[in-house]
Chain A
């Protein structure tokens, strides 16, 4: 495999504040890597460093083999970037928007436009003005614009924020098609749903990359214990009781029931007996597979900060 992003001890300070703090990681060609963290955790600053829009205070990074300090213009010419707030011209048609950005990137001829429209499945709407499109279609057009110059690396910043599960799935199918053709995708997000689509996920907090691994390895390494679905009545007193219980690492609401994380040597009976002794009724306890949200919340709970309130 070929390394397309390599960051080593990347640091970026703004005055007293360290937005990116000793971040090191690599991304190989053809990977889909997620970068998960709350607002203000340093995700966007990392991207801006990798695009060469900001200089690192310390550390080094190469993107597509180019150094971010020496060759930022070559990086930007060869990567695609789709921002959460994408810039589309609403009074222009789909095709006109695409043609405009093709011109910006120096892509000539209408053949590439046709290819891109086909790839993002917008041929039918190419003469439609953007203002008449639904959010899901606009998202596709933004993706089309990001790939018009055939980049081998795509940066996607919360690409499916706020769209429904069907549109999200369709969007990700497009990403997987690009990846099957050799494109690498780097996705920043604060949505678990979106992170689930990534093969590896990095978790950011307060500028630090706490972990980066496949979802299943993260679950195994961050949560060495067990995850439980707990049904009990009344629900909120049961939650408080679990939160104050010595062997429960984290407890939270998960719908009409609770989710608890405990050490590995705790049995279902231990949880059940604890709740029964505290006066809860109709208690049922079931071991379940931990989710990425469990991983994230456990990491976050180990050190809450104001940025997350």
Chain B
């Protein structure tokens, strides 16, 4: 295990931002941390990279964080040298070029004069910025900045990569490229480079779906973790898709049906999350209910649902899916 965290706590005055959190990420894994704003995702990443000191809470036990086996509190240098961290907001020197920026980070990380250049060229090739090494950082597009941020986090060849909402503000094409880089980092293992363990927080469920494992946090605690497929499977028949021409009438009708727990509207359809305790005939009964009020102008079908449906169920406290 490249990341091992036990009994993590972080208190801010009387608020427990991280509450007895346990987390393990192996080499080659991409672990996605999701949860509503304020759930403690960023605090967790800051604890793991050593920027925050964990709060000791006697009743819970002694907090412990190990990076590649090194204790973050007592072997800080060894642990930190193995971590690459891309914060939500990071600074680049706008007046310096891409290569000069990267050289700066390489030197801060202690790369010798002989090492930094080939390493920087390598990494700029990898993130696809090799054609732009002489461009000033101030003139980069949002996607390029993000890739340069990633390059800076990777310049010392870390074995653990921590990414805090790395694609917020980045367009879909760049997001696709960015995820491809992350998955390559986690997949690569040859004699020269070991596979990296990646811990990434994200507000986007389509990104969470790209992770090998996902942990869902709420109020500082880990509520559930598993592969995206296993988490979606927990929905087990609870999600229906409803379409029709009069969406606002359909919504009202759906919301008035007792077994419908919540409705999510989209532009041309809605998702219903239903209670499935004892009914196999829900689709039929709900269909009849809608026909009786609106007629035949709708289409109702059961769908597997997605991580976003899991997210809403957990935020709304539907523990039945756990």
Contact = CB atoms under 8 A, between A and B. Distances in A.
Interface of A: 32, 34, 37-40, 134-136, 161-167, 169, 172-173, 176, 180, 190-193, 195-201, 214-216, 234-236, 252-256, 293, 296-297, 300, 304, 307-309
Contact of A253 (B143, B165, B180): B180
Contacts of A255: 209-211, 228
Given A162-B203, A165-B311, 11 more contacts: A39-B142, A134-B37, A164-B36, A165-B312, A166-B312, A176-B248, A176-B265, A191-B204, A296-B173, A297-B172, A309-B128
B29 to A, nearest CB: 11
A214 B205 CA distance: 22
A296 to B, nearest CB: 5
B181 to A, nearest CB: 10
Interface string B152-172: 000000000000010011111
Given A39-B171, A216-B268, A193 B206 contact: yes
A38 B37 contact: no
B210 A309 contact: no
Contact of B168 (A161, A165, A196): A161
B174 A166 contact: no
B183 A235 contact: yes
A260 to B, nearest CB: 14
B187 A256 contact: no
A284 to B, nearest CB: 12
Interface string B276-314: 000000000000000000000000000000001001100
Interface of B: 35-38, 128, 141-144, 147, 165, 168-174, 176-177, 179-180, 183-184, 187, 203-206, 209-212, 227-229, 248, 264-268, 308, 311-312, 315
A204 to B, nearest CB: 11
A214 B267 contact: yes
Contacts of B203: 162-165
A253 B179 contact: yes
Instruction: Give the 9 A-B CB pairs with smallest separation, nearest first.
Output: A38-B171, A255-B209, A198-B267, A190-B171, A162-B168, A255-B210, A199-B267, A308-B173, A164-B36
Contacts of B268: 199, 214-216
A191 B202 CA distance: 13
A140 B248 CA distance: 21
21 contacts: A39-B143, A135-B37, A161-B169, A164-B35, A164-B37, A164-B203, A165-B308, A176-B248, A190-B171, A192-B172, A197-B267, A216-B268, A235-B187, A236-B183, A253-B179, A256-B210, A256-B212, A256-B227, A296-B172, A308-B174, A309-B177
Given A173-B265, A196-B267, A256 B228 contact: yes
B28 to A, nearest CB: 11
Nearest to A205: B173
Contacts of B36: 164, 166-167
Given A134-B37, A236-B187, A255-B209, A172 B248 contact: no
B310 to A, nearest CB: 10
Contact of B312 (A169, A193, A201, A216): A169
Nearest to A216: B268
A214 B267 CA distance: 8
A68 B144 CA distance: 35
Central interface residue in B227, B308, B312, by most chain A CB within 10 Å? B308
B187 A192 contact: no
Central interface residue in A164, A196, A199, A252, by most chain B CB within 10 Å? A164
A255 B32 CA distance: 11
Contacts of B38: 134
B104 to A, nearest CB: 22
A232 to B, nearest CB: 13
A91 to B, nearest CB: 22
Contacts of B266: 196-197
Nearest to B211: A255
A39 B141 contact: yes
Contacts of B211: 255
Contacts of A166: 36, 311-312, 315
A236 B184 contact: yes
Given A39-B143, A192-B206, A256-B228, A297 B265 contact: no
Contacts of A214: 267-268
Contacts of A307: 141
B128 A163 contact: no
Contacts of A297: 172-173, 176
A164 B147 CA distance: 23
Nearest to A234: B187
B248 A180 contact: yes
B141 A309 contact: yes
A169 to B, nearest CB: 6
A215 B267 CA distance: 8
Nearest to A31: B267
Central interface residue in B141, B142, B179, B180, by most chain A CB within 10 Å? B141
Central interface residue in A34, A167, A255, by most chain B CB within 10 Å? A255
A86 to B, nearest CB: 15
Contacts of B173: 38, 296-297, 300, 304, 308
A308 B142 CA distance: 9
